[in-house]
Structure 1
Amino acid sequence: MSRDFYQQEILPFAGIIIKICRAYTDTESDFEDYYQEVCLQIWRSRAQFRGSSEWSTFIYRITLNVCLTLFRKDKKKKVERAFPENLNLETSNDAFQNEDVQMLYSAIKQLKDVDRVLILLYLEDKSYKEIGEVLNLNANNVGVRVKRIKERLKKIIDGKLN
């Protein structure tokens, strides 16, 4: 992968890639593996982009598919891990050390796979229409699911669910 491709086509979307990868990993090592695999798959799949949707939608779909595939493989291994407090990636920021954000990610990790991605896209300020395009749902369905997910996250964070 060329440095130019990474800087021009992937780096502008690093935030959502990081959020999705982080939602599916528990260790720094796994996070780095997921992030690297997502970038590699975006590069490998670039010729398949037809322009029928936004480039960002293409990125989200690849990120989601890679993370779900790797997560399911890792889940089969059933290895318990703890997410580190510090993350040493070029694209990381202070949000990784924020206690409230850590609590939110912990709650998000307890959601179903599709619900995780849906709420991450919502937190990325994507419209219901954009989220629907990524997940092949209609905008009304997205709105209903976001509301239900928010309620579930509130219960998880308040300690009413585990």
Structure 2
Amino acid sequence: MKSNQEEFLKMLSAYQSIIHKVNQIYFRSKADKEENFQEVVCQLWRSFPTFRNKGKPASWIYAVAINTSISKIRKDSRLKFSDNIPDVATVDPYEQQEWDENYQKLINVLYGLNEIDRFVMLLYMEDYSYEEIAEIVGMSSSNIGVKIHRLKAQLQKHFNSNINGSK
């Protein structure tokens, strides 16, 4: 059991930034991010014996983190995402990273997407291939390609309208 714990903690230490990225995309408050982080770690630990050496740890962690996050959102009726999301006023010190203004704007736009689209775009921004995204999400790579193409067009349209509207 000790070696399982050590192996798990080593892997978690190496890949915990994935959980933080997923939390950044799905949750706004520090409390929700911390709560979800703990739940993701718990789910990873529960499923660790079945995962061991059966694929890429990063893909597995993304899948668990996303599924756990979506479950939390669906269970938590007080979390409603709308098109009129206010700007993020401060940087969350929990993340311990400095986010620039464009990144915050992107995050705000991503909040307006449904859970699956947010997840697909997160993986795409992390340079996962269409095939890897398809494997994690459970769709065909051609469907992922179409989805990403449409999402990129939607994001481009949003940013272009904000640029033209601010002149």
TM, length-normalised to structure 1:
0.82
Percent identity (aligned): 29
User: d(CA) in 2 for partners of 1:49 and 1:78?
Assistant: 31
Going from structure 1 to structure 2, the CA distance change for 1:29 and 1:128 (only over 3 Å counts) comes to same
User: d(CA) in 1 for partners of 2:127 and 2:96?
Assistant: 19
Q: Deviations over 1:11-60 (max 9, x none)?
A: 32223221211111121111111122111211121012164432222111
Measured on the aligned residues, the alpha-carbon RMSD in Å equals: 2.6
User: d(CA) in 2 for partners of 1:34 and 1:99?
Assistant: 25
Paired residue for 1:104?
106
Paired residue for 1:77?
78
User: d(CA) in 2 for partners of 1:60 and 1:78?
Assistant: 21
User: d(CA) in 2 for partners of 1:3 and 1:25?
Assistant: 29
Paired residue for 1:87?
92
User: d(CA) in 2 for partners of 1:3 and 1:103?
Assistant: 39
Q: Structure 1, unaligned stretches of length 5 or more?
A: none
Q: Deviations over 1:68-119 (max 9, x none)?
A: 0111122x12578975623233x63223xx1111100000010111100000
Going from structure 1 to structure 2, the CA distance change for 1:154 and 1:39 (only over 3 Å counts) comes to same
- Does the 8 Å CA contact 2:134/2:140 hold for their aligned counterparts? yes
Higher-Rg structure is 2
Paired residue for 2:32?
30
- Does the 8 Å CA contact 1:128/1:142 hold for their aligned counterparts? yes
* Pairing of 1:138-149 with structure 2 (within 5 A): 138-149=140-151
- Does the 8 Å CA contact 2:19/2:37 hold for their aligned counterparts? yes
- Greater relative CO, 1 or 2 (CA 8 Å, sep 6+): 1
Paired residue for 1:132?
134
User: d(CA) in 2 for partners of 1:116 and 1:19?
Assistant: 11
User: d(CA) in 1 for partners of 2:115 and 2:36?
Assistant: 15
Say which of 26, 30, 41 aligns to 1:39: 41
User: d(CA) in 2 for partners of 1:43 and 1:11?
Assistant: 13
Tell me by how many angstroms 1:3 deviates: 7.0
User: d(CA) in 1 for partners of 2:24 and 2:145?
Assistant: 24
- Does the 8 Å CA contact 2:73/2:79 hold for their aligned counterparts? no
